[in-house]
Structure 1
């Protein structure tokens, strides 16, 4: 699957306020907007033998990140599956109409969620980690 901008799946006001409604979206929409950070951390955990980084992007000058993904050796994994990282960054920059800042995330999931105002796994309708593991399993990693 070709990389698709995360912004194409932005949540509606009801999806932002009601976790059950957000949960009921398609897997791609759920992991594009609202749970991308969970998918990134679960990806890293799923391939613990690889040096997978967590990366977030934001608009220049903005403190808030709007998309998070896993990165390994020039590849990125997000709601679109595995794609070359430059392609993922380009489609998101094109969608947003401006360049993006790439941030390597070094803190753990809990700290990231607190710092960037993202939900922790226990704040979803159900635990999103099993759903993320299933989603990751649908894609062949680039090293396979």
Structure 2
């Protein structure tokens, strides 16, 4: 799957207002915008024997993260599957047309959600965890 900037899939105002409408989007848009953090944590938890990290993107000088993804070596996993992290960063920079910062995420999911105004799994219209597990399992990891 080709690297695509997360912003390509931003939710519409109607999708932001209606959790069911947001839930009913196809998997790639759902995990690109609105549930990327869930997908990243599930990816890390799927491979406990691998040193998978978590990273976030934010606009330079701002504290709010707008996209979260999993990392392993020089690879990144997000809505576009496993790709070189440099390609993911370039695609997002090009789409956003403003400087971005990559940050390492070391918090647990609850702390991250609280600090970045993101939803916990129980706050979605449906349970995103099985959906995220299925999505992770559809994308072969780079070490295989």
| TM surpasses 0.5 | yes
Distance 1:111 1:17 in 2: 24
Distance 1:136 1:44 in 2: 10
Task: Find out whether 1:16 has 2:24 as its counterpart.
Answer: no
Aligned to 2:42: 42
Q: State TM-score, norm by structure 2.
A: 0.99
Output one character per residue of 1:16-69: Cα deviation in whole Å (capped at 9) or x when no partner: 111100000000000000000000000000011101011000010112110000
Aligned to 2:30: 30
Aligned to 2:142: 142
Q: State TM-score, norm by structure 1.
A: 0.99
Aligned to 2:6: 6
Runs (5+) with no aligned partner, structure 1: none
Aligned to 1:71: 71
Counterpart secondary structure, 1:66: strand
Q: Give the superposition deviation at 1:99.
A: 2.6
Q: Give the superposition deviation at 1:93.
A: 0.4
Task: Find out whether 1:62 has 2:62 as its counterpart.
Answer: yes
Task: Find out whether 1:86 has 2:74 as its counterpart.
Answer: no
Q: CA RMSD in A?
A: 0.6
Aligned to 1:96: 96
